[in-house]
Amino acid sequence: MLPALIAIYCTHDCRSACAAKLLKSKTSNQFISSGQTYKLAPSLFPSRGSMDLLVLRVSSLLMFVLLMLCILAEGATLFSELSESLAVYVTGADNSSPNGTKAGTNELFVTWALNSTAQVDDSAYRSVELKLCFGAPSQIDRRWRKTNDILSKDKSCSFDIGSPQPYQRAGNSTVWIVGNDIPFAQYFVRAYGLDSAGEKVAYGQSSNAQRTSNLFTVEPISGRRASIDIAAAVFSAFSVLSLCGFFLYEKMSAKGNKA
């Protein structure tokens, strides 16, 4: 847009000149019309550096506004806005410690209920979703396990424990066999309370808020199976027997040639 005001200093009457076509001079900040020279007030035209700074500020503001609009359009749910109103407990088989649970073999016994000390309105709770989450020590230098306050971008709770269960104040429990794809790490269990639309509105977890205590480890599968061990033993025995057979055959052939 052109400036709203243009200050023009005229040496003669410029009523007719202002209506003429203005041509900018190549050598100075001037306009020429009908042989007359008109100078522009320099204060109304900022320097190149000021213009660059203005453009940078406007661009930054637009980017911030677009980012906020994207977050709002996604209907992003923030973990910090959830109500911590659920209590979660985890044990191993036969009420033992879950520490050292073996992936693909051992079970976790997870119990959840409404926290008796929480003064909240749970009328919107419809179901509970259980997640296996990485503890803080197992997130260090691992961006693919990074915690994010925007739950749709959070990577700390990547494993589902069963399917969502109907919510009830007295709580419920589930037995879950740890999957073969669970890597070695320190974990805790988190429960999310969902409303009728499936949106997270509450949570509870088996660790402390910093995710540093009351953790348990999961040992991954070794990749060895009984069938693989048996096959390896059979092939090893066959190799030894074959070597002995060839050795005896050579001995017998040598004796036959001497005779």
pLDDT beyond 60 at 85: yes
Same domain, 196 and 88: yes
The pLDDT value given to residue 147: 96
Same domain, 60 and 102: no
Q: What is the mean pLDDT of residues 37-65?
A: 70
pLDDT beyond 90 at 22: no
The pLDDT value given to residue 42: 54
Among candidate residues 180, 161, 157, 155, the one with its CA nearest the CA of residue 104: 180
Place 216 in a pLDDT band, splitting at 50, 70 and 90: very high
The pLDDT value given to residue 195: 96
Tell which wins on pLDDT, 219 or 28. 219
pLDDT beyond 80 at 75: no
Structure tokens belonging to residue 248: 């005896």
Tell which wins on pLDDT, 243 or 257. 243
What are the φ and ψ backbone dihedral angles of 112, each rounded to 5 degrees?
-140, 155
pLDDT above 70 as % of the chain: 73
Task: Tell me if 114 sits within 8 A of 232, measured CB to CB.
Answer: no
Residue 128 domain boundaries: 80-219
Same domain, 58 and 94: no
Phi-psi region of 96 (alpha: psi -120 to 50; beta: other; left: phi over 0): beta
Domain count, the chain: 2
Among candidate residues 183, 180, 254, 188, the one with its CA nearest the CA of residue 224: 180
Residue 248 lies in a domain: no
Residue 253 lies in a domain: no
User: How buried is residue 193: exposed, middle or buried, by Cβ count under 10 Å (0-12/13-18/19+)?
Assistant: buried
Same domain, 89 and 140: yes
Residue-wise pLDDT for 131-181, tens only, equals: 999 999 999 999 999 999 999 999 999 999 999 999 999 999 999 999 999
Distance between CA atoms of 70 and 63, rounded to whole angstroms?
A: 11
The pLDDT value given to residue 11: 42
Residue 35 lies in a domain: yes
